[in-house]
Structure 1
């Protein structure tokens, strides 16, 4: 008996043009051109400040994340390390994120409402060696670090006794900027974790090239121009 014929697969193509691969470290893909063309333009505004007075320009964001990268490297952060970013939304969030990636580390983002036990599982699974948190969440971070026993240091974005501050210590230190040779197609930029609603939370390894190209895919759908504002929700 002749086997039934199989219809040829239909090929669906997007109505949008192909997106060129962005083969750059994520901090360069996001900040490089903006810093060069409009350093004085506002990059981020703290929406929790009703006056709108709390903001950071592209130039300030560039300088601060470079200073932080230098201090993180001086503290011992090395290429291939994982840094856990345990914080609610703030203007410092991207400073820490891009400072870590410029130092060669991957960032694993930690939900600010997770328990110490949940935090510890993520630290262990991602092999994180460093934590950046905020003082209201510090006890959770400390307990998680105790449970895994592999954390080199816990930094805080604000102030807390016994911990170095991102703003008051690391970004004011005078250290040389690290020269890290990042391979955008191989090196991991970020390790987000799933919510765990269908099982154990799982880490997703996103390379610099992957996440930078993913951002480029948004341009035809969300054509942003200088002067516009977009609401960012983590």
Structure 2
């Protein structure tokens, strides 16, 4: 039972949250505080969902609530990274409106006890496109950027890997239902790997931000 609580994802989230609290929470801009709060919410959701699952209680409604915070935090993070290159507010508002309409459509057509897969797919596609747009803007930028130590680049890279991978996993869901070890399906193992990539990239991003702040101090 303890192992269910201490999953690889939970451990990665704890480490990432602690580092975020120690590093980016101190930033003057809102990005650091938004992402740190989001990581705290992700931690609570992960453990609450595990607690409910262990006791055989339905928990998909919990993830439907969590999605709201996920949409808000990731969209804001992407906006923070892209606004340095272009005036991005209109396209982000349109994207947010599209996701909200999708969520409302789910509420009208399905029970809240079902996982909101439509909204998850739509937001994942939108997040992936914004990540690719960020790379395009980065390539067009004439100023020199050291990619290896650029915090925004690694934060966006984590988002791209996770949401592109999640989209592919959802589209080919039927291929990943085979069980590998005990209750763990191939889909679950892919989900763990995607989370580890996401939090590893974010962790490195936070470390790059710390080094960047020291250089400018």
So what's the TM-score if we normalise by structure 2?
Answer: 0.32
**Structure whose residues are more often helix by fraction:** 2
**Structure whose residues are more often strand by fraction:** 1
Greater Rg over alpha carbons, structure: 1
So what's the TM-score if we normalise by structure 1?
Answer: 0.30
